[in-house]
Structure 1
Amino acid sequence: MIWEVHHIRERMQQAGVGMRDAMALLHMTLGDQEEFTGPLPEGMFEGLHSLMDRTVRGARIERFRPSRGRSPFHVFEILASEGQALGHLNMIYLRKPLPCYYLVYVEVLAPFRRQGLGSRILEAYKLFLETKGCLGLLDNIIPPGDPTFHIYTRLGYRPVEEIIGMQAMLRDNHYMVWIPASLRGIDMGERLLKLLFNLQRKRAVIDMKDNESMVERTIDEFRSVYRALTSMFQEELSQGTSTPLMRFMFTKFTTKLLGFRRRISTLLGYTGGESLEQIKIGEAVGQLAAQPWSLWGPRESRVEIMDPSAPDLPEWLNTDPTGFIEGLPLYRRPYLSRETWENWAGAADRISIGDLLLWGFDPTRLREWEFGGERYVFERSWPRFETHLRQRAQWLREIDQQASSMRFQGARLGVNPPLAFLSHRGNLYILRRKLEGIHLEEALDQLNGAPHLLHMNAMARIDRSILGVTRSVREWLASTAPPEMRAEA
């Protein structure tokens, strides 16, 4: 395995993979292992970090006007010396009642973050506003607990409430304004309020256009990463051979692609899900055996019991969590038919990348375990998410007692926090009790699709009742969740 990892850099050089695509590939396929550290030897990235530093230092920022008929946005792009985009800032011009540019979105490609590029593009934007004599408006969506939450305050932005006072129509927003020297000292309260009112009316359309732009950029990135992967492993693909690391990287690419497909279906106004079909997965890749879990990283396991009611774990599970858990039967997931589940539950090693694409998700991520007369579920995650998962577990424990005493249209809310965390070979496993019940999506599908339930559902409107309860629960969770958890509620 170590030999394979050390040769990835050599493979990228031989395939002529550029700096931007190399970093995007590594981040997409290997980046869940704590930002390229931990389970992967540093030698794999020898020379890449210094090359990235040179790329960042040589980056320039250019502005592009809206393309006629394509996008309404003015764009700042951070360009590497080779002309590849490392980041961008979208803004839209609002003419009345005050000249203003609204900052729609700013992003730096994940591998190039924490290098100062975000601050550079925001400084360039501020200089542009000063030169034009225009206000700068933005909606600060950064969570308060994020280290970058105060970046706009440090750049001189002010909450609009300091100028126009609290406004009911803005209660769900965190608008901030930057005022150029040419407009300071004038009374702009009424005009700023009208400007914000006009912006609020246009927000849905602006956000929809930004979603379209984001999807287009992300599809381009997926396409570039796929080309890089197939170039790197062209010899193996043509010969029908493979290595564990090769299968792992293609599997990670596939699961990231499937996750993106699920997310864009919820985007405001986005209807172009079929455009993902632009990314054609070749037959040779589809036939590869899926390798969804890491085989690299420290051999020593780390087990932490989070709940005193957790079972005493057997010695084999403590010493080799990856081998033990990945050998368990698959958990029966919604949309995995009983026949499919019975065929694959004990034969996960035969699942191919083509199967993942057919099903639309990775069924190996959840495993069932029966022990001591009780049933449990293991969920596979990644070290990069451990801090967040611990925060969520703590929050669930805090609301457990309050939740058990509440009723939502007669329904009781139960909490199922983690019993244990197990870390091994670059994988993170979460142990929970298996709850008897039916998933929301599966229940709705059966109510609206099973012949023996259709008439009953039409008469009693059970699906509407279920959705009403779910909505009430989510509203309550959102009201009690800390800021960093509200998006999950």
Structure 2
Amino acid sequence: MIFEVQHIREKMMQAGLGVKDAMALLHMTLGDQEELAGPLPEGMFQGLHSLMDKTVRGAKIERFRPSGERSSFHVFEIKASEGHLLGYLNMMYLRKPLPCYYLVYVEVMAPFRRQGLGSRILEAYRLFLEEKGCLGLLDNIIPPGDPTFSIYTHLGYRPVEEIIGIQAMLRDNHYMVWIPSCLQGTDLREGLLKLLFNLQRKRAVIDMKDNESMVERTIEEFRSVYKALASMFQAELAQGKSTPLMRFMFTKFTTKLLGFKRRISTLLGYTGGESLEQIRIAETVGDLQAQPWSLWGPKESRVEILDPSVPALPAALQENPTDFVEGLPVYGRPYLGKGLDCIGQDTHENFRIRDLLLLGFDPTRLREWDTGSGRFVFERSWPRFEAHLKQRGQWLSRTGLEASSLRFQGAQLEVNPPLALFSHKGNLYILRKKLEGIHLEEALDQLSSDQRLLQMNKMALIDSSILRVVRSVKDWLGRATASQIKAEIEDLTFFVPWDLERNFPKLTVEPSGVSIDRLWLA
């Protein structure tokens, strides 16, 4: 880690990067390390701490009214003295039946979080509401366990139920209201009820416009980070040379870009108008060997067994997890077979950055391990997700027990929690059993794109049968799960029975139709 940090610092100084670009690169490169998930440790980057402090202290908040067809929101922006955007707050004015501003979204750029900027912009928003004599409404989506959950309560926001009582139409929301002094003591119940009813009708449109705004800003951030990376390694790119750190940073940028591309494809109202194709990756960058795993961090390995059924672990795996896992075969999923044909490659190794861009994912993140007595999969992740993975694993085990006697549209629900975790050189490897199935989204994609499966699916409606089971499971989870977990249900990973060698779904065929006999949750 020390060499990594020193090298990055030297390259940033040589490139003359400003504090915003420097912090964005640091967050991208090192932000997944547990010890660097918070603010930058003192002394790690000499001079950058003081520069960041000056930037935060000198930041100013500006407000803009909507203008033009694409600007539906009033916006607070918090900017550095040089004009760089550090954070923003989107709000929408609701005129009737009570004057109100609805807080759509507030965000501080990742490298500048935990510096008090979020509180500053929210305080400016509160003063604005007081000056205008308007109610402030928001839907608090912060999970109850998050340290910032009470930030709105400290600013004087109250749950709307304290005024209007429990309302069935709001059961999936956590609306809070701020009341200016000029409306204190006023009976707001009827007006607030109508206001919330009107807001609920408009939420889909508001969320669509917010998604458009978010995509635009994020694309601009990606463009800025890529430009900074190209500036840092300009000499190496010109000479056709590369270092492991250079390859790691460009690969990290690529995988984050691909992850964002997958997420925005599911956003409400996103049409692709703001395309990621705007970000041009130079051929010299595309030709670089992909380096998706860290070579730095603590060299001492740490192994944690989470399930007693874990197989006997060879010494090489326990002592050097990174080399052991990264030397295993890549997990052979349908996407990979099709992707190798696309990139004209018949081997599962030696991927370049351009291959990752063509595939749309990092194929090396999942690797297979056949012990002779069992088949397993290693997933590469990052240290900062370790606590969450353990919590998810415990929840999965409990859920598996509760669901063992149930059937969902005739299918059994099984779970696949982590068996063991391996920490080494800044990487976190998760060991799970290899399932005789594939990811739900991949299964649906195969059914709609593979010519052989497409025709069969049209006749048998296999995808509809699978989705009925998934909906049944989600409905049960929504009823049976604690409120703090419900928000995560949409992010759960489902696996569908699948013959990987034949690329064919495993189905039960009956006169009434086709069905699956099980579904896995991970």
Same fold by TM (over 0.5)?
yes
In 2, the alpha carbon distance for the partners of 1:478 and 1:355 equals 39
* Displacement after TM superposition at 1:24 (Å): 1.0
Q: How does 1:54-203 map to 2 (within 5 A)?
A: 54-203=54-203
* Displacement after TM superposition at 1:150 (Å): 0.9
* Displacement after TM superposition at 1:238 (Å): 0.5
- Residues paired across the two proteins, number: 487
Contact kept, 8 Å, 1:329 with 1:345, in 2: the verdict is no
Give the structure, 1 or 2, with the largest relative contact order (CA under 8 Å, sep 6 or more). 1
* Displacement after TM superposition at 1:344 (Å): 6.8
Which residues of structure 1 form unaligned runs of 5+?
none
* Paired residue type of 1:389: L
Q: 1:486 aligns with which of 486, 489, 511?
A: 489
Match for residue 359 of structure 1? 359
Contact kept, 8 Å, 2:288 with 2:353, in 1: the verdict is yes
* Paired residue type of 1:260: F
Contact kept, 8 Å, 1:32 with 1:384, in 2: the verdict is yes
Match for residue 381 of structure 1? 381
In 1, the alpha carbon distance for the partners of 2:206 and 2:447 equals 37
* Displacement after TM superposition at 1:387 (Å): 1.0
Q: How does 1:19-30 map to 2 (within 5 A)?
A: 19-30=19-30
* Displacement after TM superposition at 1:454 (Å): 4.3
Corresponding position: 1:474 with 2:474? yes
Corresponding position: 1:13 with 2:13? yes
Corresponding position: 1:428 with 2:428? yes
Contact kept, 8 Å, 1:21 with 1:224, in 2: the verdict is yes
Q: TM-score, normalised by structure 2?
A: 0.89
Once the two structures are superposed, residues 19-52 of structure 1 have per-residue CA deviations (whole angstroms, 9 ceiling, x without a partner) of 11111111123211126379x9976522222221
- Say what the alpha-carbon RMSD is for the aligned residues: 2.2
Change (3 A) 1:345 1:375: farther
Moved more, 10-19 or 390-399: 10-19
In 2, the alpha carbon distance for the partners of 1:284 and 1:129 equals 51
Contact kept, 8 Å, 2:339 with 2:359, in 1: the verdict is no
Change (3 A) 1:17 1:437: same
Q: How does 1:259-298 map to 2 (within 5 A)?
A: 259-272=259-272, 275-298=275-298
Moved more, 189-198 or 449-458: 449-458
Which SS does the other structure have where 2:34 is aligned?
Answer: coil
Change (3 A) 1:119 1:469: same
Contact kept, 8 Å, 2:333 with 2:438, in 1: the verdict is no
Q: How does 1:203-352 map to 2 (within 5 A)?
A: 203-272=203-272, 275-337=275-337, 340=340, 347-348=348-349, 350-352=350-352
Contact kept, 8 Å, 1:6 with 1:43, in 2: the verdict is no
Once the two structures are superposed, residues 408-427 of structure 1 have per-residue CA deviations (whole angstroms, 9 ceiling, x without a partner) of 11111111111100000000
* Paired residue type of 2:20: R
Change (3 A) 1:408 1:260: same
Which SS does the other structure have where 2:231 is aligned?
Answer: helix
In 2, the alpha carbon distance for the partners of 1:72 and 1:450 equals 41
* Displacement after TM superposition at 1:56 (Å): 1.2
* Displacement after TM superposition at 1:457 (Å): 2.9
Change (3 A) 1:59 1:451: closer
In 1, the alpha carbon distance for the partners of 2:75 and 2:401 equals 50
Contact kept, 8 Å, 1:236 with 1:242, in 2: the verdict is yes
In 2, the alpha carbon distance for the partners of 1:331 and 1:59 equals 47
Q: TM-score, normalised by structure 1?
A: 0.95
Contact kept, 8 Å, 2:215 with 2:274, in 1: the verdict is no
Once the two structures are superposed, residues 89-133 of structure 1 have per-residue CA deviations (whole angstroms, 9 ceiling, x without a partner) of 111111111111111101111111111111111111111111111
* Paired residue type of 1:214: M
* Displacement after TM superposition at 1:193 (Å): 0.9
In 2, the alpha carbon distance for the partners of 1:28 and 1:160 equals 38
Change (3 A) 1:160 1:2: closer
Change (3 A) 1:487 1:469: closer
* Displacement after TM superposition at 1:451 (Å): 4.5
Contact kept, 8 Å, 1:139 with 1:176, in 2: the verdict is yes
Which SS does the other structure have where 1:414 is aligned?
Answer: strand
In 2, the alpha carbon distance for the partners of 1:43 and 1:232 equals 22
Change (3 A) 1:332 1:481: farther
